[in-house]
Structure 1
Amino acid sequence: MSSGIDADIALDAAVVLSLGMNRLLGRGAGAAGRGAEALAALAAGRAEARAAALAEVESQERALREVVERNARIAALAETRAKIGADVALPEQWTPGEQSAEELTAWCAAADRALDEAERRLSEHLAAQVSAQLFAVPAEGLTAGAGKSAPPPAEAGDVRRDLERIMTRLLPDAADEERRAVAEAAALLSGAGTAEEAESVLQEVRLRIQAANRRTEERRAEERRRAAERDAAEQAEAERRYVLDSITAAFEDMGYEVHAGFETLTAEDGTVTLTKGAWPDHSVRMRVDDAAHVRASMVRERPAESEDDRRVDVEREREWCAAFEAARERLAGAGIRSDVSWRLEPGVRELPVSARPRQTRARAGQRERHRERHN
């Protein structure tokens, strides 16, 4: 393990779920609550207690995601309501807190009913708008062209009712161009002089509504896909930050200092530097990739010039080997399992020389930042 080590990382399910809950609740990353209980049960070998705690975390996290989805639907319908000027009641968005999974699930069920009713009423409002525009002057609205006569009033009323019934099938959040296409088809009723011609126009309206709804559903699916991608990216970043915080805490507790832009890992290459006060000529470069892989290499700050320097190298490598194994045990307690896939024994090859000068930072400042991240 002298100048290099590769290890695969796997986060415990309790950590992953807890990080997801913390993100949804707007809190800082870190296993908490029942997630921490599941980790404690794992460490104590209490399989039954761990299973119960983990099941509760899973239920809570799943319920929180359902709430987020309903909140997104409420926001989308509120935007549609404002666009078409409808007076339709919508449920208030829910701000998740310490509610139980059962309470959140019950709210989601009630919200679904209210949102389905709101969507129906928005579609009815949109249908009435189009119908009112077309039938503002019923006698003229259905006047035939030269040589044709307008349908009798009873028939005009039937056409209007049929149009409104068909128009209610149009999803209220259809795009403006989709609504215009449907309205243009409906406007052809002004040239329909017979019931057969009116029915032909209504059939065209049906077809355009079907096409509009299909494209609207495709847009909704694309929006859900993008939201899922954003959620996955945020979860991956939360997991990597958790791993980095845990690694920092483990090595700081063992007397190491962590340097090199730890706060900007998401924008940089994910590399940190570990040093010790008793290591004037040595440091360890460590990189965490996507909370799934860790690489570490011991380097020299200046070239070795003597056999004594090389002897010290081997001592430092052995010290680092022991520290890494101790850190692995600490990380396991935090729900981070690591499996070493490659290593070198101390003294197998000469240590490489660092291409960058060591950056230093007060250890007290590091610990303060670490505490802030977890508060």
Structure 2
Amino acid sequence: MSGPKCTTYRVDEALTAAALRAAAEDAAVREATRRREEAARQAALQAAAARDAAVRAVKSRNARIAALAVSLEGFEQQYGASVGVRPLEPLRIDAQSTSQLEDWCAEADRALAAAERELREQAARALAASLFADVAGHTAGRRPVGAAELFADRPKPSGVVVSESSDEAAREEVEQTLTRVLSRLLPDCGEGDRADARQAAARVAEATTLDEARTWLTETRLRVQRANSAAEARRRDADEAIGFLHDLENARVADVDPVRALLAEVVAGRRALDEPLRRRVAGCRAAAEAEAEQRYVVNTVTDALTDLGYQVSQGFETLTVTDGALRLSRSEWPEHAVNLVVDQQGGQMRTAVVRTAAGSGDDDAHIDVEREEQWCQDFHELRGRLARAGLSTDVQVAVPPGEVPVPLAVSPAASSTRARPRYRERDR
């Protein structure tokens, strides 16, 4: 039997970025992916993806709730009146199940839709009251009224010759249309877009003929549509930025902190998600996904080796587990260990049996061969476990046990064995 020295590995395409992030952080998910039953493995992957999507959805709703609160505050400051909309409370993601998160999102969607609709309608009534106040006369102390009520009090413009009934019907149509158009203005429209729509609506109130009023109604409708389109574009940018922030939440890659800060500005509506920022996000996401894959490979290998009876220590020489390097030992191996390096860039695992203490007897070479043969057997089992976890392997370099002397490697000055309480609990 030959001793493996260099082995390539490939991550199963079924392991999505979301599944890799979950598995890299959650030992229970890695345990499920190592089961022999393919159905159980697929179920674990689907559960991880569903959880990731649910968490992302909650973060999106929390951002909309925050934007609605800002709109409510702006309405009260502008009109000096409170509204009947009850603000929603953001959800703190804790130990809720995936189904609980999904149910909350569905309820939040209904509540947000109702709250935004009520706010739009109240804002339209307040805006109409302010626009037509000069026509309706002094309104101090009066309740906010709709445009239809105010328009009805307006004297007929001089010089317009129409019948009483047709004039009244036309005015009523204008009044109702204006109220309806203004009520479509989204509460999170930009102030510039909102002022633009208000300006056109004011021209409706100032019109001296019904034809002029209808013309400015059309213009008001177009400006409201443009304002809403801009607001919806900002919402899409914000939602996409929330997804990016979710993907980069635990990333520890270069440039990630400044990118997170810029994405937070997008979520708050203070900047656009432009192409330069998208390119920076793409670079961070690629690095974060590579980091998650690295953690998944190292953790999966570590878990499997722990199951096979190895103690996994870190910190030998100048390498750490963070860099993909491990030292493996066994309680019955007082003078031997296995050095294992995970090279993500090359997609390789390099292994070698080493001595941790110099030999002092004639049987040292024989013991070295025994350790190498045992490692070969365990490595074969390791490959099977990795395959069931979505990591296929192919041995590229192998040396027969005993052909090359086992090197002496100085033991780490302060190595630390990685604890596995999950396995202790499982064995009891």
Q: TM-score, structure 2 length as denominator?
A: 0.59
Of 242-251 and 229-238, more deviation after overlay is shown by 229-238
Shift of 1:344: 0.8
Q: 1:135 aligns with which of 113, 126, 132?
A: 132
> What does 1:197-346 align with in structure 2 at a 5 Å threshold?
197-233=212-248, 236=289, 240-252=294-306, 254-260=309-315, 270-274=323-327, 276=329, 283-288=339-344, 293-296=347-350, 298=352, 320-331=375-386, 336-346=389-399
- Contact persistence 1:331–1:337 (CA under 8 A): yes
> What does 1:55-66 align with in structure 2 at a 5 Å threshold?
57=47, 61=51, 66=57
Structure 1 equivalent of residue 211 of structure 2: 196
- Contact persistence 1:134–1:190 (CA under 8 A): yes
Identity of aligned residues (%): 27
Gaps of 5+ in 1: 143-147, 302-308
Q: Deviations over 1:288-312 (max 9, x none)?
A: 46xx9553354989xxxxxxx9999
Q: Separation in 1 of the partners of 2:373 and 2:296?
A: 27
| Secondary structure at 1:197 match in 2 | helix
Q: 1:367 to 1:288 in 2, by over 3 A?
A: farther
Structure 1 equivalent of residue 180 of structure 2: 165
Structure 1 equivalent of residue 286 of structure 2: none
Shift of 1:4: 2.1
Number of residue equivalences:
337
Q: Separation in 2 of the partners of 1:346 and 1:367?
A: 32
Structure 2 equivalent of residue 89 of structure 1: 86
Of 178-187 and 251-260, more deviation after overlay is shown by 251-260
Structure 2 equivalent of residue 361 of structure 1: 414
- Contact persistence 1:318–1:346 (CA under 8 A): no
Gaps of 5+ in 2: 77-82, 138-149, 152-156, 251-288, 356-363, 424-428
Q: Separation in 2 of the partners of 1:367 and 1:269?
A: 16
Q: Separation in 2 of the partners of 1:19 and 1:171?
A: 36
Q: 1:204 to 1:229 in 2, by over 3 A?
A: same
- Contact persistence 2:200–2:220 (CA under 8 A): yes
Q: 1:176 aligns with which of 186, 191, 202?
A: 191
RMSD: 5.2
Q: 1:369 to 1:363 in 2, by over 3 A?
A: farther
Q: Separation in 1 of the partners of 2:49 and 2:234?
A: 29
| Secondary structure at 2:188 match in 1 | coil
Shift of 1:207: 0.8
Amino acid at match of 1:327: L
| Secondary structure at 1:5 match in 2 | strand
Structure 2 equivalent of residue 304 of structure 1: none
Shift of 1:205: 1.2
Shift of 1:125: 2.6
- Contact persistence 2:5–2:397 (CA under 8 A): yes
Shift of 1:52: 10
Q: TM-score, structure 1 length as denominator?
A: 0.65
Q: Deviations over 1:43-80 (max 9, x none)?
A: 3x495xx4996699479636665555444433332332
Q: Separation in 1 of the partners of 2:392 and 2:43?
A: 26
Q: Deviations over 1:254-276 (max 9, x none)?
A: 43543249xx99xx974323254
Amino acid at match of 2:117: R
